Amino acid sequence: MSSQTPYKVLCVCLGNICRSPTAEVILQHYCDDHQLNVEVDSAGTSNYHPNAVPDQRSQKHAKKRGYDLSALRARQIQLQDFIDFDLILAMDMENLSDIKLLEQTALQQFSSNQIRAKVALMSEHDQDYPKQALPDPYYGGEDGFERVINQCESSSLAWVHIFKQQSKA
């Protein structure tokens, strides 16, 4: 990780209106808090909600915890993201396998040295939720939205620890 060029991270879920916008804002918050030169964005594997604001329930729960999601707009992940981002973080196992399939298409369309992105689970290094899926809260109750925030905070802190080690290397 160079100190001049931002290290770019893309958080990806299915709809890009609940989990990944929450992950984007929380990971960005912790990276900024630790003075890491990291830029976070988010996208969905689906195109169900193009340009939509985050789900009102996600916004409400995030706001109570001090996070503002209101400026974000949903978009679908695209092949160019494998060139533009250093790290793509999947929120659950289905997202992970969809991203890996798309990566195969990207590898066919671009030369392998153009593809920068590593692909991992959001919870890859999280000791409280080790390699656990971030459960989709969309069809569930309020506690699902709180769980998303708790897990995003825990996983983001684990990534901050990894990024700090990388910036020293």
Which residue number is nearest to ligand 4NP in terms of Cβ?
15
* Dist CA 41 CA 77 (whole Å): 11
Tell me if 23 contacts ligand 4NP by CB under 6 A: no
From residue 124, alpha-carbon distances to 76, 96, 114 in Å are 23, 11, 24
CB closer to ligand 4NP out of 92 and 163 = 92
Q: Which range touches ligand 4NP (CB under 6 A), out of 17-25, 35-43, 109-117, 161-169?
A: 17-25
Contact 121, 81 (CB under 8 A): no
DSSP 120: E
Tell me if 19 contacts ligand 4NP by CB under 6 A: yes
Beta strands in 49-109 (DSSP E): 87-90
The site string for ligand 4NP over 121-150 (x = CB under 6 A, - otherwise) reads ---------------x-x------------
Tell me if 10 contacts ligand 4NP by CB under 6 A: no
The answer to whether 147 is a known catalytic residue is no
**Single-letter amino acid code for the residue at 57:** R
**Single-letter amino acid code for the residue at 162:** I
Which residues sit at the interface with ligand 4NP, rule CB under 6 A?
Answer: 13-19, 48, 136, 138
